[in-house]
A and B are shown apart, each in its own frame.
Chain A
Amino acid sequence: MSTEQLTQFDIDRTRGDFRYDVKHEFDAGTGLTHDTIDYIVDVKGEPDWLREWRHKALDIFLAKPMPTHWASKDLENIVFGNIRYYLAGGQKASRSWEDVPDDMKRTFERLGIPEQERKYLAGVEAQFDSEAVYSNIKKAVGEQGVIFVGSTDGLKEYPEIFRKWFGKVIPTGDNKFSALNSAVFSGGSFIYVPPGVKVKHPLQAYFRINAENFGQFERTLIIADEGSEVMYMEGCTAPKFETATLHSAVVELVALKGAKIQYVTVQNWSANVFNLVTKRAIAHEEAEVKWIDCNIGSRLTMKYPGVVLKGRKARGEVVSIALANDGQHQDTGAKMIHAADETTSNIVSKSISIGKGRATYRGLVHVPKHLKGCRNNTECDALLINSTSRTDTYPAITVRGTGNACQHEASVSQISAEQIFYMQQRGLTEAQAMSLSVNGFVNDLVRQFPMEYSVELKRLIDLEMEGSVG
């Protein structure tokens, strides 16, 4: 995008609370009005159908009430008028290493992240090496016919595939925040895997972030055509220094007949971020979709990855780890909508609450009428570290008919005093013993993460556990 393009459009910057911050090349200012939408569309050079679509989404967003009748009242603290909905161009250099808080710097040191990398992870500087890595991945998968581009490029270069599925898995009006995302989205990935192609490398947003600025309202669409396989990873494994207050993404996955998609997320936003994400997949006949989700950071995360099991013998799985520390509320869970015979789903959720942290599991399992041979299994385990920690479980299960079986189990426990005593008696400090115990609690799930993620995840858990004892 260039400034020439911008000048082609005559934008009235005096109307409403629409402000233009000259510090950035492209900045939609704070607040959200229909002008903001026009600005984004103009800057991105998007087609008219999308302009209309975004405007409609904004109306829905404005009309929809906050879901506080079931969700946390903390949502009311989001001031939509104070948020910048679109930034591009010059914002990268807006932070300096000095701005990074000390505790964050120490964390990087503890994680053994190289100096250059630290700066990148802190959002201070772009990581030059990763550009090359990204290009390599792109080249390798490109030869197989895989499309792996940003969502903006996707809709421009591959409109016939993009439009077919865009907004179909998660309609704009699904919830207030999916409507918000639909109105202002930018960034995110578009992936198409042709029939029968099995992508060997996991595709990582981590590398792509640098190629295109990863927005706070990113939109990802992954389509795995018949019999193909793909694994996608997003997020990074180290604390990300982020000044944003609202992150609201929409992720749509489509697994066509016999396809397999694995989607791995490690979320570690800083503790002032509202992370409100809508993620859903459609699994066609004999397709498999697996969400592997780990939430460590943020102030409030609300995320319930779902799978609509649309074809016979489709399978959906959610593996979720949440760690809630002081001032954090991890409200996570899963949705499984069975819509065909012999579909199966599995949800395994483990949460750890430390200090005054609160971890919530919220689930939905729906087996409507006249289906046969559907199975769901849900397990939720919560671990409470301190006497001020809190955990909740709110599943909702609807089953119709005689051909199906659902089971749900949840437990809440604390670390056994005997275990801690045993380890201390073997010479470990109490903190080490606690860490070991917590890692043991999530170990079977962590092992399902890709190797490098699971190693750092363990370290992160160690870090979070620090100072929580006593």
Chain B
Amino acid sequence: MTTSVLDREPMTDTPAAPTRLLSAGPAAPGQEAAWNQFTKLPPPTRTDERWRFANVKDLDLGAYLPPLPFDGAVREDLLTRSRGVEKSAGRMVFANDQLLTREVFADALSRIGVIWLPLERAMTEHPDLFQQYFMREEAILGGQKFAALHASQVRTGTFLFVPRGVEIDLPIEAFHWLHGDNGSCFPHTLIVAQERAKVTFVDYYESADANAPGLACAVNDLWLGAGASVTYVCAQNWSRQALAFQMNATVVGRDAWARSLFAQVGSRHLRTESVSHLRAPGGRSDMLALTVADDAQEVDARTFQIHEAPNTASDLLYKNSLDDSARTIFSGLIRVDPGAQQTDAYQKVRNLLLSDEAEANSAPGLEIKADNVRCTHGATSGQIEQEELFYLMSRGISKRAAQKLIVHGFLQEVIDRLEAPAIGKKLAEMVQAKFAAHA
């Protein structure tokens, strides 16, 4: 990561014999320690509670190659396909961990103090700031090995620093493309919002070819200073053959409000880990996710709401719709540390099963070590109510269309919680497209 990808042209020649990722070593000399850690850590086993229910056999990385080169035509194609919301403050587009473009659309991004750079430039231009926040929170939900892999391979990504009191109204977007067969990418997003800063950020994860096998291992970390407000959306639509990991840490300061939404549509096997640290009084974290799983997809989501200080709140809502032989896992924990009085924590997972082969696993957990708290969780698994279906069909809507409508309504509740209509529309389209492809 010592040389900036901005300084070099995208590679155009194809190397003769591709080296596999597992024998490629770290991306840069500075990432050796992480590589060593990655190779040393054992692969996950099912007897590890943090991998309970998961199909750990699916996690073999042997087939994958380091980020692949691509040509100019691909570059043009991916740039035109990188369509986000109508009005954004700016966007960066990455493909196979190379920056394709960085565009500023709103003055807010050029304001004094705002740093919005590809990761490798932030590292060299703002080393202190970078070191202070880059992967400072350990992956504690079982994915250390994959976090180490990410740290050893990360080449670029978004670094966004919003200084004290600056509010950026329009969302900022980043597109990460995975191109080629068996290639890999390691998207990284690091957002630091200082006191009273406000920002909305959207990551789009997509594959150029919806059926190409590949590996994506992403990390996104959010840091909120006192009174800051960050809305983070991750729209994941990797190829149907991709193996993907996502690791998120959200650190919430005093009176700050973090809101994150993970929309999971793509991947063959997806593992997500999301941790909210409520580190100072008055902090709040809303953790949202929706999953549209079909075919033989496995979506394995682990969450952790850690209330480290008094008077903090967290509210988690994960909704899964499962069709065909899809499997989902939700394993979440609320922990209230001793002394974190007046905690208000909520956790809810809802599974909608649409086929007889689908399987939903839920393990919502609580660990409460303070007494003056309100902590509740709920998990439900069920199917479409026959009455609802009947009602819609009696209005002349076909069974198939009625089912889709109901599933949409089910997932829309999560999207609405964002209170960001433009992004919500984009997410709804993504869900719609998956349904259309399924029919």
Contact = CB atoms under 8 A, between A and B. Distances in A.
Interface string B245-267: 00000000000000000000000
B363 A412 contact: no
A231 interface: no
Contacts of A398: 53, 359-362
Given A393-B366, A411-B376, A406 B381 contact: yes
Interface residues of A, number: 36
A411 B375 contact: yes
B368 A403 contact: no
Contacts of B373: 384, 412-414
Interface in A255-271: none
A405 B352 CA distance: 10
Contacts of B383: 402-405
B381 A392 contact: no
Contacts of B372: 387, 414
A351 to B, nearest CB: 11
Nearest to A401: B356
A390 interface: yes
Contacts of B341: 387
Interface stretch (B44-52, B72-80, B104-112, B391-399): B44-52
Nearest to A386: B371
Contacts of A389: 371
Interface in A153-195: none
Contacts of A401: 353, 355-358
A368 to B, nearest CB: 9
Residue of B338, B339, B377 ringed by the most chain A CB atoms within 10 A = B377
Given A387-B341, A388-B338, A403-B356, A397 B381 contact: yes
A390 B354 contact: no
B15 interface: no
Interface in A63-87: 69-70
A349 to B, nearest CB: 12
Nearest to B353: A402
B359 A399 contact: yes
A402 B380 contact: no
B376 A395 contact: no
Nearest to B371: A384
A452 interface: no
Contacts of A414: 371-373
A407 interface: yes
B351 A399 contact: yes
A410 B358 CA distance: 25
Contact of A392 (B360, B367, B378): B367
Given A387-B341, A403-B383, A395 B355 contact: no
A45 to B, nearest CB: 41
A399 B368 contact: no
Interface string A401-439: 111111111111110000000000000000000000000
B379 interface: yes
Nearest to B343: A412
Given A400-B357, A402-B353, A407 B374 contact: no
B359 A407 contact: no
A392 B368 CA distance: 6
Contacts of A20: none
A396 B377 CA distance: 13
A12 B359 CA distance: 56
A35 B334 CA distance: 48
Contacts of B102: none
B369 interface: yes
A69 B52 CA distance: 11
B364 interface: yes
A384 B341 CA distance: 12
Contact of A395 (B360, B363, B368, B374): B363
A202 B53 CA distance: 41
Given A384-B373, A388-B338, A402 B355 contact: yes
B368 A382 contact: yes
B142 interface: no
A407 B380 contact: yes
Interface in B168-187: none
A408 B379 contact: yes
B178 to A, nearest CB: 31
A347 to B, nearest CB: 13
B370 interface: yes
B364 A395 contact: yes
B365 interface: yes
B42 interface: no
A176 to B, nearest CB: 14
Interface string A363-383: 000000110000000000010
A384 B368 contact: yes
A245 B166 CA distance: 63
Contacts of B380: 405-408
A397 B374 CA distance: 23
Given A391-B368, A412-B368, 7 more contacts: A369-B357, A370-B356, A384-B371, A398-B362, A402-B354, A407-B380, A410-B366
Interface of A: 69-70, 369-370, 382, 384-414
24 contacts: A69-B49, A370-B356, A384-B373, A387-B371, A388-B369, A390-B368, A391-B366, A391-B368, A393-B364, A394-B363, A394-B365, A398-B360, A399-B361, A400-B358, A400-B359, A404-B353, A404-B381, A404-B382, A405-B380, A408-B379, A409-B376, A410-B377, A411-B376, A412-B368
Interface of B: 47-49, 52-53, 338-339, 341, 351, 353-384
